[in-house]
Amino acid sequence: MASIPCPHCEQKSFSWWDKYRSAKWAIMHCPNCDGRVCAQPLVMAAMYFLYLWDVVLFGYLAYLDSLWYLLAGLVGWLILDYFSLYIPLSAMRRADSGPDKSH
């Protein structure tokens, strides 16, 4: 049921569940080419800023005014989770292809 292409080999290697997990800072390995893949780090940093803003803002408003803001925060969290499925995948270098470590 793979429908998302690998950035290394362009084969459809990943499912939507893999894509969701990659937005939670998971590193995946392509079953076709064994390339390492993760979600785009800069986009993920922006998303996690929005998650933090959602929790702090609506948690503070719920503390001050009404518990209905907790429901608004939950809806905001679910919307951010939905958009996290659209964070582009990024190809990573192989673990052994870094600089020469023999020194």
- Going by pLDDT thresholds of 50, 70 and 90, the confidence category of residue 18 is confident
Tell which wins on pLDDT, 29 or 2. Answer: 29
In this model, does residue 22 exceed pLDDT 90?
A: no
79 pLDDT above the threshold of 90: yes
The Cα 39–Cα 57 span in angstroms is: 26
Report pLDDT for 65. 86
Contacts of 51 (CB under 8 A, 6+ apart): 77, 80
Model confidence at 100, in pLDDT bands (50, 70, 90)? low
Average pLDDT for residues 36-57, to the nearest whole number?
A: 91
Contact 23, 84 (CB under 8 A): yes
Please give the average per-residue pLDDT across 22-47, as a whole number. 88
pTM over cut 0.85: no
* CA atoms of 83 and 77, how far apart (whole Å): 10
Taking the CB of residue 25, how many other CB atoms lie within 10 A of it? 11
pLDDT of 33: 87
> What residues pair up with 90 in beta bridges, in sequence order?
38
